[in-house]
Amino acid sequence: MLHVLHQVINVHASLADSVVPWAALVAAVTALAVAWSGRLAQRQDARRSLYSEAYKTALSWIEMLYRVRRREPGKQHELVEQFHTLQERLDYHQGWIESESRALGRAYRNLVATLKRTTAEPIRQAWRDEPCDPTHGFTIEFDGMDAVTAAKDEFIAAMRDHLTVWRPWRRVALEWRYRDGAWTPVSPASANTEIYNQIQKGGSQ
């Protein structure tokens, strides 16, 4: 009887010894998972901030149409500087996004190109026209808003696919949509050449 009792005690002691390492292991794994989740959340937040700022910067090109329309006489060179500064910011965001994702970078490139292409003629015309009086009110609407809306929706959809964590197949689909041979870049080259010439002249004809 005593022999059996000793065996039971030994078994319980062995179980107790084995539970301690497993408990420590579970605690360590849990801590690592929490730390990884926190770092992932921080990285996702940083990416969202980057892409949000890039999106805002791209839309600023439309704002430049508004600025040209209500420019102050004799201060065209200030607008020229604003165009150049905006272009530098666009180039910065383009390079940074492409370093994160080639597919998302291509979506951003199409967004910027569409905005420039559709506003090229309105901006040229705004330089030709007399400045608007802000007190009279005017709209920033122009032909091509449908294309702008489509490009905005396309980039937002690409951004969501890129940022997804729990649906990796969406990131795969994004890369597939913008792979070589499937992606069609929007080229605003000819329009941009003319508009930059116009900017350099400060709106003179």
pLDDT in tens, 98-128: 999 999 999 999 999 999 999 999 999 888 8
Q: Does residue 31 form part of some domain? A: no
Q: Does residue 42 form part of some domain? A: no
Q: Does residue 41 form part of some domain? A: no
- Average pLDDT, integer, range 55-80: 89
Q: Does residue 39 form part of some domain? A: no
3-state helix, strand, coil in the chain (%, to 5): 80, 0, 20
Q: Does residue 126 form part of some domain? A: yes
Is pLDDT above 50 for 157?
Answer: yes
Nearest partner of 199 among 60, 112, 78, 66, judged by Cα = 78
The amino acid at 156: I
Please tell me whether residue 70 adopts helix, strand or coil conformation.
coil
Report how many domains make up the chain: 1
Cα distances from 124 to residues 96, 119, 200, in angstroms, run 30, 8, 12
Q: Does residue 98 form part of some domain? A: yes
Q: Does residue 28 form part of some domain? A: no
Q: Does residue 14 form part of some domain? A: no
State the pLDDT confidence band at 205, using cuts at 50, 70 and 90. Answer: very low
Torsion of CA 167, 169, 175, 176, to 10 degrees: -150
The domain in which residue 102 lies consists of 47-200
